[in-house]
Amino acid sequence: MVKRVLSEGVVPVKVWTDEIEETALEQLRNLSQLPFVHKHVAVMPDVHAGYGSTVGSVIPTKSAIIPAAVGVDIGCGMMAQRLPLTASDLPDSLSAVRSAIEAAIPHGRTDHGGANDRGAWGEPPDTAAKTWVENLEARFAAILQNNPTLVTNRLGVNTVRHLGTLGTGNHFVELCLDQNDAVWLMLHSGSRGIGNRIGTYFTELAKEDMRRWFINLPDADLAYFPEGTEHFDEYIEAMLWAVNAGPKIHHAGGVKVHH
């Protein structure tokens, strides 16, 4: 249930938690001042400060989009797959299972696809290569053609060799049991750098537009693209490509579990 409502902005901020850090509160007040936020901002219990806007909130916009509010980990996500196993099928020690998962899926900090990059495929598996060619490559080339300076921002390096890999930081593969002792494989994978580069690149373009149009914002990271302006469609295309690549990242890797 809604715990409190902040009403000093153009739209209300509805809060579903009792505890918010002061920095996050200030960002929420800033968001509520934007004229294109639609109806209200919704604040979830995990809210915390981000770049310009809060993480853990829903910020609906109409006829405009804020790249920094979408974020820089575009395509990062989680999924769970039930396995044909129960708890009794698992060995007493999961050490060998962990080793098999680590051997099957590249993980860790990437070195941008170099020969010794432990976070990338040495040779992408067939599923990753096929997914890249059939679903992602052509649109990716179009994005780079429309935004050539993205190439100098190293967007083109984390491509097929990182498709289906895990990442580092808070990304993980985990074996779980449900209440019926069924075994599930759960994973949280990252955007492998591409989402970060797309988000950062377009946030900077939005800031340039704000300066060009003499639009003053309570926080520069709230820079936005109005619908119909030069970079709006380009950002939407690149962002949706990264979102589409996220599930492909999940599926292009492979772990085989036998019992």
Amino acid 163: pLDDT = 84
Amino acid 168: pLDDT = 81
CB atoms near residue 127 (< 10 Å): 15
Give me the torsion for CA of 43, 44, 45, 48, rounded to 10°: -60
Amino acid 189: pLDDT = 84
Residue 144 region by backbone torsions, left for phi larger than 0, else alpha for psi between -120 and 50, else beta: alpha
Amino acid 24: pLDDT = 95
In which residue ranges of the chain is pLDDT below 70? 110-116, 151-158, 246-259
Give the residue among 13, 16, 46 at the shortest CA–CA distance from 27. Answer: 13
Amino acid 65: pLDDT = 97
Amino acid 258: pLDDT = 38
Token pair recorded at residue 119: 């976070």
Amino acid 249: pLDDT = 62
What are the backbone dihedrals phi and psi of residue 36, each rounded to the nearest 5 degrees, phi first?
-100, 0
pLDDT in tens, 133-186: 888 888 888 888 888 777 655 555 567 888 888 888 888 999 999 999 999 999
pLDDT in tens, 151-166: 655 555 567 888 888 8
- The CA-based diameter of the chain, rounded to the nearest angstrom, is 65
